[in-house]
Amino acid sequence: MDAAAAPANTSALRLDVALALLRQAGQAEPAGDAGSPAYLQALIDQLVDLSSRDALTGLANRRNFELALAREVDRVARSGESALLLMVDIDHFKRVNDTHGHGAGDLVIRAVGQALTDSVRPMDLVARIGGEEYAVLLPNCPAAFGPQVAARVRQRVARSSVALPDGQQLAVTCSVGGAFAPQWVRSTPGIWLQRADLQLYRAKAEGRDRVCLEHTAAPDVSVQEREMLLGSHAIQDSE
Ligand SMILES: Nc1nc2c(ncn2[C@@H]2O[C@H](COP(=O)(O)OP(=O)(O)OP(=O)(O)O)[C@@H](O)[C@H]2O)c(=O)[nH]1
């Protein structure tokens, strides 16, 4: 038998914690002989999936989102396609927890995650990246569609009322900030995130339940991005 395909000695593998995690997440143990390569690969795949998802909403988690954002920055720099990043934050969420309890807060977080997923294409990535903060990454989103897409996301959340166990219906709104990745420029995920975050901050400061997008379709290139594109000498030369 091929050594690589030989079953591992499962008693030496300590699979119990991995299997308990799967059970806790409501997933079945992989089929097949425990210790066989197919079984172990399926187990690894399930654990990878678990470690990429947010436990409360099932959305992509921050780790998964950061990987996707870095990939998208590279893709945009190579292809020149435009991609939009939206940061979404539930408005006055603390009040929900304070007034209705954390259980209600969790229901709202789930409902907003679902509304976001329903408002974008399957190819877009919706992630929960903090308590009541989400990111939506929209590859191949032409600049002219940005305002429309962001408005749809905000409206979809505002339309969804959340049913609480005591029968109350809770209205929720969110603020949305967005920025396009600079095309043809090797930027960094951090700079892109910062730009979108700045717009989210504006949306909150201007009254919430609104969208703020970075103004220019081809956003200004930061000093750091210009350095990456042209080298620091070119920056000094042009100043
Ligand atoms: N129920 C629940 N609450 C959470 C979770 N994660 C964070 N929070 C709460 O989310 C609240 C966030 O409050 P703030 O950051 O003040 O934001 P906000 O009340 O939404 O105010 P604005 O964003 O300014 O509109 C805090 O009370 C956190 O405890 C979670 O997983 N579940």
Q: Per the structure, how many domains does the chain have?
A: 2
Is residue 99 located within the same domain as residue 174? yes
Could you tell me if residue 177 is inside a domain?
Answer: yes
Give yes or no: residues 35 and 84 share one domain: no
Which residues have a Cβ under 8 Å from the Cβ of 163 and sit 6 or more positions away?
107, 169, 170
Tell me, yes or no, whether 67 and 124 share the same domain.
yes
The mean pLDDT value for 69-85 works out to 93
Q: Is residue 70 part of a domain?
A: yes
Using CA atoms, how far apart are residues 138 and 191, in angstroms rounded to an integer?
17
Confidence at residue 1, expressed as pLDDT on a 0 to 100 scale: 47
pLDDT in tens, 149-207: 999 999 999 998 999 999 999 999 999 999 999 877 778 999 999 999 999 999 999 99
| Mean pLDDT of the region 67-92 | 95
Tell me the pLDDT tens digit for each residue of 101-139: 999 999 999 999 999 999 999 999 999 999 999 999 999
Neighbours of 103 (CB within 10 A): 10
The H or E element spanning position 164 is none
d(CA 10, CA 32): 13
Query: Which residue owns the Cα nearest ligand 1 atom 12?
Result: 94
With a 6 Å cutoff on the Cβ, whether 112 touches ligand 1 is: no
Pocket test for ligand 1, best of 93, 95, 97, 212 (most atoms within 8 A of CB): 93
31-43 pLDDT, tens digit each:
988 888 899 999 9
In a domain, 2, yes or no: no
Q: Is the CB of 90 under 6 A from ligand 1?
A: yes
Probe target for ligand 1 pocket from 91, 109, 132, 197, with the most ligand atoms within 8 Å of CB? 132
Does residue 188 form part of some domain? Answer: yes
Q: Which residue has the higher pLDDT, 69 or 5?
A: 69
In ligand 1, the atom with minimum distance to the C-alpha of 91 is 25
Kindly state whether residues 182 and 70 are assigned to the same domain: yes
Percentage with pLDDT > 70 across the chain? 86
Q: Please check whether residues 106 and 180 belong to one and the same domain.
A: yes
In this structure, are 171 and 202 located in the same domain?
Answer: yes
In a domain, 5, yes or no: no
**Is the ipTM, as predicted for this complex, more than 0.90?**
yes
Q: Of ligand 1's atoms, which has the minimum distance to the CA of residue 97?
A: 1
Instruction: Check whether residue 73 and residue 47 sit in a common domain.
Output: no
Kindly report the CATH number assigned to the domain that includes residue 136.
3.30.70.270
Residue 86 bridge partners (DSSP): 136, 178
What mean pLDDT do residues 43-55 have? 95
Which residue has its alpha carbon closest to ligand 1 atom 7?
131
The residue segments making up the domain with residue 90 are: 62-214
Query: Do 129 and 173 belong together in one domain?
Result: yes
d(CA 181, CA 188): 9
Is residue 5's pLDDT more than 80? Answer: no
Q: Are residues 95 and 138 in the same domain?
A: yes
Tell me whether strands 133-138 and 161-163 are parallel, antiparallel or unpaired.
unpaired
Supply the pTM of this predicted model: 0.85
Any domain includes 1? no
pLDDT at position 2, please? 53
Do residues 107 and 162 touch, judged by C-beta distance below 8 A?
Answer: yes
- Over range 84-96, report the average pLDDT: 97
